[in-house]
Structure 1
Amino acid sequence: MQTHIPLQTDRDKTSSSGNTSREVQHVFFLKVHKAASSTILNIIYRFGYTRSKNFALPRKRNYIDLVDRGNVIPIPPNNSYDILCNHLQVFSYPKVARIMPQDTVYIAIVREPFERLHSSFEYYRNELHRGYLMKATGTDPFRRYIQNPMSFEPLNPIDSFTNNRMALDFGYPSGNINGAKNVQKFLDHVDSIFDLVLVSDVFDESIILLRRRMKWTMKDVLYIPKNVRVSPLNISFQDYNRSVVDSNILRLDIILYDHFLGKLKREISKAGETFVEEVAYFQTVRHRTQKYCSKTAPPMNLKFPACKWHGRFEVSSKDCWLLVQEETPFLELLRNVQKDRLGLPSQELPKLYDAKKMRLFGKRG
């Protein structure tokens, strides 16, 4: 039996959360590539882990294939899946709805398309060495790529992480991706499915809208940014214009992004002055938490007194350990927890938490 961090007790939950009976328990999160989705994933992982929820998890790697149910780790009899939040091979609402409860809340995230394109290019070329992107060479490979992106793109758009990838992640048919037919019908379809689409460029506001929609606590939605990579982007207006206007490579993503950015801004404007105050307060709490968690095994908990946005709660070293977890080790932890419930053999893990010996995390962006 592997060692893992103890779950919160009911007493812990009550002191930090107050009444949890109204909180949303069933969640689907569409993990869009390179759109701050790993940070949201950590929030959802922590929520489900501390409440012993059943995750729909892939047996291997971090993609889940709902066509092949054998790819999904089973759960105990007479249970249902509570949370599905890993990358999907292809998003299909009917396939998701088939395994998730009827009261599931559907959320997703989008990012400014050109920034997402650049981030995706850097990651999939320089770290994962995707073949089609490795063909862009020279002193500035990204500039060379966007001067004629379609000359580098794979024939099948589903194999691309740069060609309107957000639209593909939302389920737009790959065969029509560059023709962009029936776009309004597609937007209406997405609107009918998703209860809330976050925008990474308006991140803290998105988090507070998420908190309100899910009726989660302030502690639940604290985060420390994940996968933050900053690389210089020296692009002329001509190059940018060539990529965005002359090529169809971002056409659908721009339409999708503008749609959900406008929708989010309208929700914020309707939320009133208290929303602005809550965002500012949340930023203060988050910054204090990140500073606290940057210490090596802090001896005393960080305490937040009750206020109009939350009951009294504390952040401990254990909480910090969860906050800083990257996707892969957290996923492995969840896999092993769920295998334990089934009595299945699980990979033996090293001791995951030792406050006296373990530096909680290094310098991060």
Structure 2
Amino acid sequence: MKLRRPRSLGVALGVFMTIGFGLQLLGGPFQRRITGLQLPQSWIPSLRPTIKSCLARQQLVFLKTHKSGSSSVLNLLHRYGDKQGLRFALPTHYQFGYPKLFQASKVKGYHPQSSETQKPFHILCHHMRFNLKEVLRVMPSDSFFFSIVRDPAALARSAFSYYKSTSSAFRKAPSLAAFLANPRAFYRPGARGNHYARNLLWFDFGLPFPPETKTMRMIPHLPRDPNAFQLHTVPSGAGLRPLFQTITTAAANYEQPSSLAFSAFEPPSFIQWGLAWLDSVFDLVMVAEYFDESLVLLADALCWSLDDVVGFMHNAQAGSEQRLSAANKTAGTGEDRQLTARARAWNNLDWALYVHFNRSLWARIEQYGRSRLQRAVAELQARREALAKRCLMGGEALDPKYITDVRLRPFQFGSAKVLGYVLQSGLNQKDQEECERLATPELQYKDKLDAKQFPPTVSRPLRT
């Protein structure tokens, strides 16, 4: 990489950070990853039994991002691996040393000195800050890598209520609106828990943060993108159309509005370089606002059936559906529109991630076929509704005060109530077991897998 002589200390810091990041990413482990966006031939969704022409993928790496619907994905991975007898790479507790970067040594049962004889891991899926080099010490390089992103405006609303007691920036602010009106009054980089308060997705993906300097040189061979994107939020399954519309502008005069822009402190070339690296590592990145569509594409990529990905929402906060509905109705007007714009501007790196992976999701949808996808989504939702009627008291998630079974009561954290499930009475044994798997929260399911994979030497009660 040919670099011009730095003109300032800020430029030098940016150059050294970029080179260091590049050496880490372009090392041996990076070169073994294959770029995604190539869809295998697989089943065609229909009401008839599934017909497969491929082998199911069973070595998976899921980057569980915060407040993006990832707990629901985790549940389907728990259930699939549990039923198939697969071996999970489990943390000693519930996270892999987060918010520190992932280290292979944090995986329970990982012994590098005896790697030739130890049993392989099939699924790595619990909370971590992504670190590819260390992940590849645990998982094969040809594993299927995937994750999920969410609109930074919706993520900010959820994170503020959930992490208000954890983030010093959120704790000082009387409301999210007050925080976003003047975030610098509350936010201090590096302060305890403040990674939750800005660009949380970018942080979870393990990407470096560019130095705040307007003079940082652009990275070669990654030209400025002359397209800005305007989002239009559409509920999942409500008719397929992209979340963004493209607005073409002259490259020479390109300057994104503050509500949509990459900040002047983070050159688009730096951001595009990080996104290009993510494209080379991750085979699929789901989008929370198109959760069901993403599940269908996931099943297709893994050569799984719809029954393997159908499930219930987990770790949802009370009122989240109502807030989403209200936001959709008022997205073009007033206070909510201003809050959304400010949240996207403050979380500009997350906004770049979100726009980028919306685009890649819709590229996959076009390749898969919109009509075909609509049929599969309708079938997925019909199966979920049937399971809810058969399994759940009231057919939906309930306030935790109604959940007396500690095995099914979700962990309560933050100011908002986390909803859970109560099973129907009188279920036969087979339905009881299936419904329990569907309704079990992530912490209890992790304990269940831990006890199964590492049986205690002495009898003791299951930790919850």
Q: Please, what TM-score do these two structures have when normalized by structure 1? A: 0.77
CA contact (8 A) 2:95 2:126 kept: yes
Q: CA deviation at 1:54?
A: 1.2
Indicate the residue corresponding to 1:81 in structure 2: 121
Indicate the residue corresponding to 1:32 in structure 2: 65
Q: CA deviation at 1:97?
A: 1.3
Indicate the residue corresponding to 2:344 in structure 1: 244
Indicate the residue corresponding to 1:47 in structure 2: 80
Q: CA deviation at 1:105?
A: 0.2
Q: CA deviation at 1:103?
A: 2.5
**Any idea what SS the aligned residue of 2:306 has?**
coil
Q: CA deviation at 1:335?
A: 1.3
1:334 aligns with 2:444: no
**Any idea what SS the aligned residue of 2:266 has?**
coil
Indicate the residue corresponding to 2:381 in structure 1: 283
1:324 aligns with 2:447: no
Indicate the residue corresponding to 1:304 in structure 2: none
Cα distance, 1:25–1:64 mapped onto 2, change above 3 Å: farther
Between 1:181-190 and 1:72-81, the stretch displaced more is 72-81
Counterpart Cα distance in 2 of 1:67 and 1:35: 19
Q: CA deviation at 1:68?
A: 4.9
1:116 aligns with 2:116: no
Cα distance, 1:346–1:156 mapped onto 2, change above 3 Å: farther
Indicate the residue corresponding to 2:462 in structure 1: 349
CA contact (8 A) 2:150 2:288 kept: yes
Q: CA deviation at 1:237?
A: 3.7
Alignment equivalent of 2:190, drawn from 156, 163, 178 = 156
CA contact (8 A) 2:306 2:380 kept: yes
Cα distance, 1:292–1:64 mapped onto 2, change above 3 Å: farther
Counterpart Cα distance in 2 of 1:317 and 1:108: 30
Cα distance, 1:336–1:20 mapped onto 2, change above 3 Å: farther
1:200 aligns with 2:288: yes
Counterpart Cα distance in 2 of 1:67 and 1:29: 13
Counterpart Cα distance in 1 of 2:461 and 2:53: 33
Indicate the residue corresponding to 1:261 in structure 2: 358
Corresponding letter in the other structure for 1:145: F
1:60 aligns with 2:93: yes
Counterpart Cα distance in 2 of 1:124 and 1:236: 21
Counterpart Cα distance in 2 of 1:256 and 1:216: 27
How many percent identity over aligned positions?
A: 29
Deviations 1:102-129 (A, max 9, x none): 321000000111001111111111xx44
Gap regions ≥5 residues in structure 1: 1-15, 302-314, 353-365
Q: Which has the higher contact order (CA 8 A, sep 6+)?
A: 1
Alignment equivalent of 2:335, drawn from 211, 235, 259 = 235
Cα distance, 1:68–1:165 mapped onto 2, change above 3 Å: closer
Cα distance, 1:253–1:175 mapped onto 2, change above 3 Å: same
Gap regions ≥5 residues in structure 2: 1-48, 112-116, 213-262, 328-333, 394-423
Counterpart Cα distance in 1 of 2:336 and 2:53: 51
Corresponding letter in the other structure for 2:461: E
Counterpart Cα distance in 2 of 1:170 and 1:31: 9
Corresponding letter in the other structure for 2:57: V
Between 1:187-196 and 1:93-102, the stretch displaced more is 93-102
**Any idea what SS the aligned residue of 2:364 has?**
helix
Counterpart Cα distance in 2 of 1:211 and 1:43: 11
List aligned pairs for 1:305-316, cutoff 5 A: 316=431
CA contact (8 A) 1:136 1:144 kept: yes
Q: Please, what TM-score do these two structures have when normalized by structure 2? A: 0.62
- Figure out how many residues of one structure are paired with residues of the other and give that number: 312
Deviations 1:214-263 (A, max 9, x none): 11122211110112222557934444444434xxx211111110111111
RMSD of aligned alpha carbons: 2.8
**Any idea what SS the aligned residue of 1:198 has?**
strand
**Any idea what SS the aligned residue of 1:107 has?**
strand
Cα distance, 1:113–1:26 mapped onto 2, change above 3 Å: same
Cα distance, 1:242–1:114 mapped onto 2, change above 3 Å: closer
Cα distance, 1:159–1:239 mapped onto 2, change above 3 Å: closer
Counterpart Cα distance in 1 of 2:341 and 2:137: 43
Counterpart Cα distance in 2 of 1:70 and 1:241: 41
Deviations 1:134-174 (A, max 9, x none): 1112xxx1111111123222322884212011111112114
CA contact (8 A) 1:91 1:169 kept: yes
CA contact (8 A) 2:152 2:344 kept: no
Cα distance, 1:244–1:107 mapped onto 2, change above 3 Å: closer
Counterpart Cα distance in 1 of 2:378 and 2:283: 24
Cα distance, 1:154–1:335 mapped onto 2, change above 3 Å: farther
Counterpart Cα distance in 2 of 1:287 and 1:22: 28
